[in-house]
Amino acid sequence: MTEPASPMTDRDERFVATDPAVPPRGWGLHPEPGARYHWSARTILEQERVDILWDRQGIEGTGTPEELKTLVDWINTKALPVLQASDLPASDSDATLTIEGDGFRMRYNPRGSCGYIYISAAPAPEVTTPTPKPKPKPKPRRRKTVRRRPTW
C-alpha cells in the first residue's frame, strides 16, 4: 500500500512543511520537555553542507497556524543560514549543538550516524536574544605566484 500523495510541492532545500494535514514523521531529535509543537528533520551531511529532504521532516504537536508559520519562517530565514555557515560536528560524533534566538531554539546532533544530522526546532520563550547572524566561512587561501622576468 502506498502513502497518499503529500501536499508539499516545493522541494527546495529550505522548504519546511506547514500543512497540518501532513502526518507527523518524527524524523529528528525529540522535542524538549514542555514544547507544545516542534519541527524535526533527519538531514544528510554532505561535504560540510546540510541537505534537508522534503520527505524526512515534519511538524508535530498543537500550534496555531500563526505559531507554526512563525516557527517555519524563523527556521528558513535565520536558523538554517546559521546552521549552514557553522562548523558542523563530525558525522561520527554525538555532540548536540544549539542555535537560539528570537524565542526559538534549534538543536542538532549527528548521533554518531556517519552521514545524518538530526534536528529539532521549537519555541523557547525564555530565549529573548536575537538569533546570531551567519558567519561567513573563510575562503581557502590562494597561493600567490611570483612571475619573474626571464634573464636572457
Q: What is the pLDDT of residues 93-113, one digit of tens each?
A: 888 889 999 999 999 988 888
CB atoms within 10 A of CB 27: 20
Q: What would the mean pLDDT of 108-134 be, rounded to a whole number?
A: 87
User: Is the pLDDT score of 21 beyond 50?
Assistant: no
What's the confidence (pLDDT) of residue 112?
82
Tell which residue, 127, 134, 89, has the closest CA to residue 110.
89
Residue 133's pLDDT is: 85
What is the signed CA dihedral for 141, 51, 60, 101, rounded to 10 degrees?
Answer: 10
Judged against a pLDDT cut of 60, whether residue 14 lies above it is answered with no
| pLDDT over 70, % of the chain | 74
Per-residue pLDDT for 28 more than 70?
yes
Mean pLDDT lowest among 10-19, 130-139, 141-150: 10-19
Q: Give the whole-angstrom CA distance, residue 18 versus residue 70.
A: 10
Torsion angles phi and psi, residue 40, rounded to 5: -140, 155
Enumerate residues 6+ apart whose C-beta is below 8 A from 56.
Answer: 25, 27, 41, 42, 43
pLDDT attached to residue 7: 33
For position 52, what pLDDT does the model report? 87
The answer for residues whose C-beta is within 8 angstroms of residue 54's C-beta and 6 or more apart is 6, 8, 10, 11, 15, 17
Query: Which one is predicted more confidently, 42 or 91?
Result: 42
Strands 57-61, 97-101: pairing kind: unpaired
Query: Of 3-7, 71-75, 107-111, which has the strongest mean pLDDT?
Result: 71-75
Instruction: Please name each of the domains of the chain with its CATH number.
Output: 37-123 (3.30.450.20)
Binning pLDDT at 50, 70 and 90, where does residue 140 land?
Answer: low
The reported pLDDT for the residue numbered 9 is 35
Predicted pLDDT at 141:
63
Backbone dihedral region of 143: left (phi > 0), alpha (psi from -120 to 50 degrees) or beta? beta
